Amino acid sequence: MENDQKRRLITDYIYNNPDCNQESVVKAMDGILSRVPVRNTIKELCEDKVVSIKKENQNSRDQQLSINTGNILFTVSRELDDFDKSFCVLLKKVGKEFDRLYLKNKQGSRDATEMQPILNLLSECFHIFYEIVDTYLVRSVLQWSKTIGNREIRKQLYSSVFTKIADIHLRMSETPSSTKIGYLASFAEIFFQRRLYSTENLLLHFDSFTNGGMEKEIEAVLDCVWSINNDFKQLAFPEPLIYGWKFDYGTDGWKKVVELQKQNQDKTYYNAVKTQLKV
């Protein structure tokens, strides 16, 4: 079991059973975690000040455990758990309605008008999820880097947040059962293409740093960006594919994208979308 999962299990138990002791936590985790991992995790949570220890009296050997509800590791974990539960309920309801309409229209031609409202709601679910992702990215850069001085605490917080986000995303992909047929795949691809689209930024970054006398440095960075986008180059830089330019995504690099785009400045992804919408 991952350390984040251990921490969450034990934190949840202590939160729901305030003033419990270590032995009661060990018993509660029986069959899930053995004694040593439980005690080690409690020790770690105490060191991180997520869990507080107090004694009934000065001479007592029995230590009572409680959650420090003001601790950032705890509060962020709880807010993400709350979002996960409510978002899961919403997503399941949207998925159930999507499946109902999909199966209803499976025979014969699909009624696009009837499907559109639920597709809009499905799109809203994607937007809500990525708004949360963006919010945590901003908080990690602008807030936590300034307010959390302990580097290890920040690392634990980042790990906890993005592990939870990954869990939610996995459930998103599993919710609507009929979408496994592929109907949702094209819809999701359109949504993610809008987020991944990077041609305009590629040109902007290259020109800005080149004009600033940092051409060598930005080329090294863009080489990495190109490599990181390896599995999604056609989504991130779609113009060569859309307009049939002589370009090989496997062997050609980002410099050729820049060159081709500058030669065809009006031929952009967004212009292609506008043209398609007019048809």
Q: Are 68 and 50 in contact (CB under 8 A)?
A: yes
Torsion sign, CA atoms 146, 149, 152, 156? negative
| Amino acid of residue 241 | L
What 3-state DSSP class applies to 255?
helix
- Determine the pLDDT at residue 58: 55
- Determine the pLDDT at residue 181: 42
Q: Are 102 and 51 in contact (CB under 8 A)?
A: no
Q: Are 23 and 57 in contact (CB under 8 A)?
A: no
- Determine the pLDDT at residue 178: 47
Q: Are 254 and 226 in contact (CB under 8 A)?
A: yes
| Amino acid of residue 23 | E
- What are the tokens at 32? 């899930």
- Determine the pLDDT at residue 242: 93
Q: Is 125 exposed, middle or buried (0-12, 13-18, 19+ CB in 10 A)?
A: middle
- Determine the pLDDT at residue 163: 87
- Phi, psi at 176, each rounded to 5°: -80, 110
**For 267, which DSSP code?**
-
Tens-digit pLDDT profile for the chain (279 aa)? Answer: 777 778 888 988 998 888 888 889 999 998 898 899 999 999 988 888 888 888 766 554 577 888 887 788 888 888 898 999 899 888 888 888 887 777 777 655 556 677 778 778 887 888 888 889 889 988 888 888 888 888 888 888 888 898 888 888 887 766 655 444 445 545 555 666 677 889 999 999 999 999 999 999 999 999 999 999 888 899 899 999 999 999 999 999 999 999 999 999 999 988 887 887 665
- Determine the pLDDT at residue 260: 96
* Structural domains of the chain ordered from first start: 3-67 (1.10.10.10), 72-179 (1.20.58), 199-278 (no CATH)
- Determine the pLDDT at residue 56: 64
Q: Report the C-alpha gap between 166 and 60 in whole angstroms.
A: 43
Spatial CA neighbour of 29 closest among 8, 55, 49:
8
- Determine the pLDDT at residue 192: 63
- Kindly list the distances between the CA atom of residue 62 and the CA atoms of 54, 56, 131, in Å, as whole numbers in the listed order: 9, 7, 45
Q: Report the C-alpha gap between 14 and 77 in whole angstroms.
A: 14
- Determine the pLDDT at residue 176: 52
H-state helical runs in the chain: 3-16, 22-28, 35-47, 72-104, 112-138, 145-147, 151-174, 183-196, 199-211, 215-228, 233-236, 239-243, 254-263, 269-278
- Determine the pLDDT at residue 238: 92
The residues, ordered by sequence, that sit 6+ positions from 37 with a Cβ below 8 Å of its Cβ are 6
